[in-house]
Amino acid sequence: MGSSERALELAFRHLGRRDRTEAELRRHLAAKDVGEPEADAAIAEVVRMGYLDDARYARTFAEDRRNLDGWGAGRIERRLLELGVDSEHVAAALGARDGAGELEAALELLRRRFRDEVPASERARERALGMLVRKGYELELAYDAVRAFGGTRPA
C-alpha cells in the first residue's frame, strides 16, 4: 500500500468513529507519521467526498452543546476554536441563534436546574447567575435570564 492510500485509509478510519475537525484529522495523521503532502491529499479527498466539513461540524457541535449540555455561545466558541475550527465557521454556527434564542436557552437551563422554582434568596439568584456564566452565557444575558425567570438582579 502506498503512502497516499495509507493516509486516506487512516483518515477514513479516524472519521468513522465520530465527526472530526480538519485540525483534529491533520494532527491524527501527523501522529501516524503521515507526511504533510500525503495528509493534504487525504484531507482534500475526504473534504471533496463530504466526510470532513468544519462548517457542518461547528453547526452540529453548537446545537448539541446548546441542547444537550446547556452551553452558552461563549463556551461553544472557545471550545470550537480550541478544536481548530476556523473563526468564520464558528461565527456562522453561533449566528444561527439570535439573542432571543440564547435567552430562551438560558431560561430552559434555569427551568431544568431549578424546576420552575424561582430562586428566591440572594444566594440562590447568585448561584443561578454563576451557573449560567460557567456554562458560557454572557454576564448581561445571564442577568436577563435570572430576572426573566423571576429573580432580581443581584447587587
Query: If you ran DSSP here, which 8-state letter would residue 120 be given?
Result: -
Amino acid at residue number 7: A
* Residue 104 in grid coordinates: 430562551
pLDDT at 21: 94
User: Is the separation of the CB atoms in 10 and 32 below 8 Å?
Assistant: yes
Amino acid residing at 8: L
Q: Classify domain 99-149 by CATH architecture.
A: Orthogonal Bundle (1.10)
Cell, residue 58: 461547528
Q: What is the per-residue DSSP string for 60-119?
A: HHHHHIIIII---HHHHHHHHHHTT--HHHHHHHHHTS-HHHHHHHHHHHHHHHHTT---
pLDDT at 51: 93
pLDDT tens-place values along the chain, 155 residues long: 678 888 889 988 888 888 999 999 999 999 999 999 999 999 999 999 999 999 999 999 998 998 888 888 889 999 999 999 999 999 898 886 656 678 888 888 888 888 767 777 888 888 888 999 998 888 888 888 888 887 544 44
Backbone torsion region of residue 118, taken as left when φ is above 0, otherwise alpha when ψ lies between -120 and 50, otherwise beta: beta
Each domain of the chain, given as residue ranges in start order, spans 3-48, 54-95, 99-149
Q: What is the pLDDT of residue 116?
A: 60
